């Protein structure tokens, strides 16, 4: 399934929304109506190394990781910024800028179609403002755990 957007438009930064001033950013592209057939879409947890030291620490069961959730050809993640607006962003799957992709983990499937996933992500993004990011208590991994559980019934 494809999102109707220009190639390379998933820069990892929110796009300004014109319709509503209250929601300052539109972080998701328009969905292709031809791609909206119902069914079960796979959901993946994409894991990235945050630091090159992970290559050594990984085998000891340690590491510092970034994560994102991939569904319908888009990857969603959560990051910090200084504004009281959504910190959820979208990137090309397995290509989150600033991180080295490590692996993709199948989490399950969702029965939501692309339109419903987009609506769901927009609703969830209002609970993840950039200025509420906390390295220990509310980070990208907490976001992915929440989203995976709500989409598939499985926690990370």
Catalytic positions are 66, 140
| Pick from 127, 131, 130, 119: nearest CA to 146 | 127
- The owner of tokens 């208590």 is 137
Angle between helices 114-125 and 140-152 (to 10 degrees): 140
**Rounded Cα–Cα distance for residues 134 and 140 (Å):** 9
- The upper half-sphere exposure of residue 53, i.e. CA atoms within 13 Å in the direction of its Cβ, equals 4
For residue 30, the 8-state DSSP code is P
Query: Residue 91's CB: how many other CB atoms inside 10 A?
Result: 20
Cα 153 to Cα 44, 146, 147, distances in angstroms:
13, 10, 9
């Amino acid at each position: 399934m494809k999102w109707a957007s220009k190639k390379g438009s998933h820069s990892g930064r929110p796009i300004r929304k014109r319709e509503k001033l209250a929601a300052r950013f539109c972080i998701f592209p328009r969905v292709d109506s031809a791609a909206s057939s119902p069914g079960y879409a796979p959901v993946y947890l994409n894991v990235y190394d945050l630091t090159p030291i992970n290559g050594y620490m990984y085998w000891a069961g340690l590491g510092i990781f970034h994560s994102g959730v991939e569904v319908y050809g888009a990857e969603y993640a959560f990051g910090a910024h200084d504004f009281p607006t959504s910190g959820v962003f979208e990137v090309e799957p397995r290509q989150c800028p600033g991180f080295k992709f490590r692996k993709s983990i199948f989490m399950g499937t969702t029965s939501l179609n692309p339109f419903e996933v987009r609506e769901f992500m927009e609703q969830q993004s209002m609970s993840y403002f950039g200025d509420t990011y906390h390295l220990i208590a509310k980070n990208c991994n907490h976001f992915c755990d929440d989203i995976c559980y709500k989409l598939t019934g499985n926690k990370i």
